[in-house]
């Protein structure tokens, strides 16, 4: 099982808006000792969204989906989720109640007499039409809920709006409500150095040998070509199970010494020319 993130919207793919969900979700997960396994960006294409959701529903993963759950013509996520599951959309009674609460709140704020039967308010209820069997995700910002498809065990899909001010607290609520038992269950550590003026191809045999010797560790290599202020370098490190990270890191430094490589702790940053 992995944790996945789907971000939906033409405005992201066109560059009209910059995605903020990816780094925030990574941050929210990291604070709880969890890690994002994959992410996917999709435009407002119903066929593509449906196909993606059909695939991810079958994965057994924990999936967060941001965007497209409104009731305008370019919002397709609710309908696509229902199509991917092969179930109809249905007005969720609790979602209906919360949307109507929001309508009444707005009427009070604006000093207008509320009319729940007005056409525009009847249309707003479409935001509470979810795939049959869905649960709601409360929205502390404006009460308009998202929805969850719980699939048994820890698997589930959680659909929230594209607006960060709504999406992020809703994702936190899902994590803290449904997945607290997973928090910090897998101890992890990470150690890295900046290696200067070395080619990745030269260091690759060392990286492969470390991963073969320490199966609970992953080696990472992040090269930088440098600029007018920094020298060419590679951030080379190991991450994974803490005791193996310690041993693997010692093995890495031993290998770098064998190359007579120049390196320094990654937290010190790249050296000036």
The pLDDT tens digits for 122-159 are: 999 999 999 999 999 999 999 999 999 999 899 999 99
- How far apart, in whole angstroms, are the C-alpha atoms of residue 117 and residue 123? 10
**219 alpha carbon, distance to own chain's centre:** 23
Most confident of 42-56, 97-111, 226-240: 42-56
Q: The domain 189-268: what is its CATH number?
A: 3.30.70.1130
- How far apart, in whole angstroms, are the C-alpha atoms of residue 41 and residue 260? 43
pLDDT at 270: 59
3-182 and 189-268, same CATH topology: no
Lowest mean pLDDT among 119-128, 183-192, 220-229, 263-272: 263-272
pLDDT at 103: 93
Domain ranges of the chain: 3-182, 189-268
For residues 10-17, give the mean pLDDT: 95
- How far apart, in whole angstroms, are the C-alpha atoms of residue 80 and residue 46? 6
- How far apart, in whole angstroms, are the C-alpha atoms of residue 86 and residue 79? 10
Name the band, by pLDDT with cuts 50, 70 and 90, for residue 41: very high
Does the pLDDT value for residue 18 go beyond 60? yes
Question: Tokens 């965007």 label which residue?
Answer: 67
**222 alpha carbon, distance to own chain's centre:** 22
- How far apart, in whole angstroms, are the C-alpha atoms of residue 271 and residue 265? 11
Q: What is the mean pLDDT of the chain?
A: 94
The percentage of the chain sitting over the pLDDT mark of 70, rounded to a whole number, equals: 98
pLDDT at 273: 47
Does the pLDDT value for residue 268 go beyond 90? no
Lowest mean pLDDT among 22-26, 61-65, 267-271: 267-271
Name the band, by pLDDT with cuts 50, 70 and 90, for residue 271: low
The answer to whether residues 32 and 183 touch, using CB atoms and an 8 Å cutoff, is yes
pLDDT at 227: 80
Question: Tokens 């079958």 label which residue?
Answer: 58
CATH 3.40.980.10 at 3-182, yes or no: yes
* Angle in degrees, CA 43, 47, 51, rounded to 5: 95
pLDDT at 115: 85
- How far apart, in whole angstroms, are the C-alpha atoms of residue 108 and residue 104? 6
The percentage of the chain sitting over the pLDDT mark of 90, rounded to a whole number, equals: 86
């Amino acid at each position: 099982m992995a944790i996945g993130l789907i971000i939906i919207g033409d405005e992201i793919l066109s560059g009209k808006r910059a995605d903020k969900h990816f780094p925030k979700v990574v941050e929210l997960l990291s604070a709880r000792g969890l890690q994002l396994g994959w992410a996917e960006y999709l435009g407002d294409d119903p066929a593509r969204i449906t196909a993606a959701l059909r695939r991810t529903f079958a994965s057994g993963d924990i999936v967060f989906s941001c965007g497209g759950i409104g009731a305008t013509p370019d919002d397709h996520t609710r309908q696509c989720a229902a199509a991917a599951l092969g179930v109809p959309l249905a007005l969720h009674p609790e979602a209906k109640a919360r949307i109507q609460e929001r309508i009444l709140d707005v009427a009070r704020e604006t000093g207008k007499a509320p009319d729940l039967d007005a056409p525009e308010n009847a249309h707003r209820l479409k935001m509470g039409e979810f795939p049959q069997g869905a649960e709601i995700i409360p929205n502390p910002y404006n009460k308009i809920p998202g929805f969850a498809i719980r699939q048994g065990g820890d698997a589930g899909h959680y659909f929230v709006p594209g607006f960060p001010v709504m999406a992020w607290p809703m994702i936190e609520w899902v994590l803290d409500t449904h997945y607290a038992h997973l928090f910090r269950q897998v101890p992890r550590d990470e150690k890295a150095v900046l290696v200067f003026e070395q080619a990745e191809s030269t260091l690759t045999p060392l990286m492969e040998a470390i991963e073969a010797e320490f199966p609970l560790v992953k080696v990472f290599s992040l090269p930088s070509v440098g600029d007018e202020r920094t020298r060419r370098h590679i951030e080379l490190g190991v991450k994974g199970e803490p005791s193996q990270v310690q041993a693997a890191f010692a093995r890495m430094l031993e290998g770098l010494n064998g190359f007579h490589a120049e390196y320094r702790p990654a937290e010190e940053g790249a050296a000036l020319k």
